[in-house]
Chain A
């Protein structure tokens, strides 16, 4: 039995439950006496609510409550992780297609559904803001009530925020070649296979809320605020999400359910359909205009970036998305002069929220495509132009921030090699390559409790959410490795705020590094305790005692942990407890409230073939390479990276939410919103890693999981351009769009 668990791929903790169907996702949890909830919304994107007549609905047998804004404390409480703008239920106006106007709680789902159909809504459809141009139109209606941000000079516009980043002087900088273009990234949705589901139940003088939430402590804070309860009386149960991807990060209908639970005195349960899940969350969409200057040798002189970002009806975490993505908009390059101006625009659409990549895919689509354009104009190879501009490890490339923290050229070269870059191409084929850079957490407060039991087994209590990335397994591996305990004797408890200590969130690819560090520290703290106590027991000084993995070396010989525990705890029994933490406080001097803990850097390369008759793409070879520091569990890293790549291909080739003129989403549901199936895989796919053990996490690790989709679109777009001569600026690259591009190209447009 090896004591070395790092860099190995033991079976997933929780895997057994998942392959047997025993894993309890939220919709599988049953409580006695639960009422079923169904939501009612208007049939357009923006409406004035005139009347909500619930009288017929209330008469349906089995109905307990039909809740509207009038039933809530007045003014209706508003919530949001950064800005409290979102009402628990729609008040006076419905601001996006799917915003609930009424909620029915009934004994059965059938009764709730029948009653929901009986709710009589009288509303007046209003002109809506459904596109970026609508949002910028000074004559358009305001999405947000100006009284919500009384001191904001932008309050009478649909611009929530204007963000400015930059350095140097783009106006004065001399460039030999300037390229300028505008790129768009549409609205896409998370489409986790588990639709959103929530439960709430009164709990004495407090409340219990169940949600597959990635950030239980954020939900706890918001429920406490909205219900005016102390944190200690709000208990969040967070079952492992069936896919999160950021979509399950922030509260949506949990506050509404909490009120329903208190009003009915019963547990209440809402399981959204897939269609409702699409209405509930999406990625920020944007239009980015970039003007970029280069020297003849390919060096970047400046990027002048103007990004209009459509964030939706409520802010959620979207302002942070725009902020972070704009900050790194120039990508992982040496850019002497940069000007980045981003506008976060409100719209009468589904609120955008966190989504794997956090705005970077949208920016890299534009800025990486610019690099390609310049390369073509200058006659420079697209790998060469990137190599020329990559910073070296230790080099500052964003003034005032963490310097380049990896040998980024290695990822680029490895990806290029994986698609045989530079070798002759068959007819009708093209290759593309692109880099993506993302900032991770800039602040953190993560605690963990590690308990060493009487029999030498251990329990780890952590607030991280395991949504498939394998956090349970990786943390178990760290404990097993550090403590010399077999993996099978490590238990991980997650998902209950009454049990696990505080964690900021499971996001930004941060958990291996930040929570992993806390876990690592808890192990060291435990070993320090053992050392002190063992010294006592052995009547030796602490200097004479060395605590290794599972074994204590004393002056007179060795003692296993088990023997020590038996001896020390005796027949009174007991356990040893250690707390580990990683706290990085916010610093208000920094535009992002702190420097990033590490950079997530990834390179994507593709070789494609285009059927010029139909526009259909076939991806022959596809590679993603992540600069991961150290893969604590190589199988997990590969799967997360490959999985991100597949999702990136979905965004690039086939995903977009289509709205009609009234702001309704036309392609709700699995039939007309397409994501990749098993048959859509590239013919050859490689998920590779660069491991230089140069990360801040345990054993030199960095975070991963988002890298694989940061640069998918520009890599594929570039390959399509090489194959066909057609440059496309708007995603997705559907066969129809490529075909249209080919027609325009032939006609010389």
Chain B
């Protein structure tokens, strides 16, 4: 284990391509020795910790075709490759259709971090504890990847392989993230467990989405090598008449896919217990929001 005896990064070449083609060329030339730089709030930390020692760092921010804004396309919201978390939080369309995403994004770091960090960057960093991911998962986000030869769309639920690992290939860049605007009425809630009230990484995070038709989706972070999405279409969890113990039993069933561990932030037993506690809370909150919407 390396301790951090320096604030400096190791040496590398810095490139700032103006077009996607230039970027692809650089990626091809340098292969695994290249790192992509968007906001830098994860990358710089990893460079300092020597988790990554690239030969070249490719800054994406001057690429003309990579957008930093949010656009509406048919029935989806398209989040540009370089969209800042700050912009996500402030965007009226995000707040109208996906308020839980704005809520989650607001828990990432501090204002200073959110003013540089990008949403695709947060996803590509693939921390199992990434706070924006559960909210994106319950809303069925899609990751659009571009390479020199092709474009492909990968549902976010299939995007993660393990901690720090995604299905993004070496020659691919995330060009945008799509969020389909829900066709029916939905409500969602998000909660996270931290060691202090102030800025903190999540020891676990939980997002719950409920639909008027009784569909329930849960997404969990930091309780497995990848964020986990589970769905229950039976409508039973949304049933207010449901017995509390039965509800718990159903939830525990949904939680079976999770595998929390003990680490420096929290113990396994605590994480497991909090999964149930927070899941019950966000489920109730989401149902309350849904009910309140109906009254409006």
Which residues in A have some Cβ–Cβ distance to B below 8 Å? Answer: 38-41, 43, 97-98, 109-110, 113, 116, 273-276, 279, 613-614, 616, 618, 653-654, 658, 664, 666-669, 671-672, 674, 676-680, 734-736, 739-740, 743
Contacts and interface: CB of A to CB of B under 8 A. Distances in A.
Given A658-B264, A740-B270, A38 B198 contact: no
B160 to A, nearest CB: 22
Nearest to A658: B264
Given A116-B5, A116-B6, A680-B196, 15 more contacts: A38-B5, A38-B6, A39-B5, A97-B3, A273-B5, A276-B3, A614-B193, A618-B197, A664-B1, A667-B264, A677-B196, A677-B197, A677-B198, A679-B198, A736-B267
A667 B7 CA distance: 17
B277 A273 contact: no
B44 interface: no
8 contacts: A38-B5, A43-B1, A110-B11, A614-B277, A666-B264, A668-B4, A677-B197, A680-B198
Contacts of B200: 674
B14 to A, nearest CB: 15
A275 B198 contact: no
Contact of A676 (B8, B196, B267): B196
A279 B2 CA distance: 13
A273 B270 CA distance: 33
A739 B273 contact: yes
A739 B277 CA distance: 12
A671 B198 contact: no
A674 B3 CA distance: 18
B79 to A, nearest CB: 27
A273 B4 contact: yes
Contacts of B195: 654, 674, 734-735
Contacts of A735: 193, 195
A109 B8 contact: yes
Contacts of B201: 671
Which of B7, B197, B199, B278 has the largest number of chain A CB atoms within 10 A?
B197
B12 to A, nearest CB: 12
Interface in B255-296: 264-267, 269-270, 273-274, 277-278, 281
A687 B267 CA distance: 36
A668 B3 contact: yes
A677 B199 contact: yes
Contact of A113 (B8, B197, B266): B8
Contacts, number: 83
A110 B7 CA distance: 10
B264 A275 contact: no
A34 B84 CA distance: 40
Contacts of A98: 3
A678 B5 contact: no
B3 A110 contact: no
B199 to A, nearest CB: 6
Interface residues of B, number: 28
Interface in B221-253: none
A271 to B, nearest CB: 8
Contact of A613 (B2, B5, B197, B281): B281
A570 to B, nearest CB: 57
A743 B269 CA distance: 11
Contacts of A38: 5-6
A672 B265 contact: yes
A255 B3 CA distance: 23
B8 A739 contact: no
B3 A275 contact: yes
Contacts of A671: 201
Contacts of A275: 3-5
Contacts of A674: 195-196, 198, 200
Nearest to B267: A736
Interface string B1-40: 1111111100100000000000000000000000000000
B198 A678 contact: yes
A618 B6 CA distance: 37
A743 to B, nearest CB: 8
B267 A669 contact: no
Given A658-B264, A666-B264, A667-B264, A113 B6 contact: yes
A734 B270 CA distance: 12
Contacts of B197: 616, 618, 677, 679-680
Contact of B270 (A274, A667, A739): A739
Contacts of A109: 6, 8
* List of 3 A-B pairs having minimum Cβ-Cβ separation, nearest first: A677-B198, A679-B198, A275-B4
A678 B199 CA distance: 9
A296 to B, nearest CB: 41
A678 B197 CA distance: 9
With most chain A CB atoms within 10 A of its CB, the pick from B6, B11, B201 is B6
Contacts of A676: 196, 198
Contacts of B8: 109-110, 113
Nearest to A43: B1
A38 B266 CA distance: 33
A589 to B, nearest CB: 47
B196 A654 contact: yes
B274 A614 contact: yes
B286 to A, nearest CB: 17
A63 B266 CA distance: 43
Contacts of A616: 197
A678 to B, nearest CB: 7
A613 B267 contact: no
B262 to A, nearest CB: 10
A300 to B, nearest CB: 36
A616 B200 CA distance: 14
Interface in B44-81: none
Contact of A672 (B193, B264, B274): B264
A676 B195 CA distance: 11
Nearest to B281: A613
A223 to B, nearest CB: 24
A488 to B, nearest CB: 36
Contacts of A680: 196-198
A676 B269 CA distance: 25
Nearest to B269: A740
A739 B270 CA distance: 8
Contacts of B265: 672
Contacts of A43: 1-3
A296 B11 CA distance: 72
A616 B6 CA distance: 35
Nearest to B193: A614
A616 B11 CA distance: 43
Nearest to B199: A677
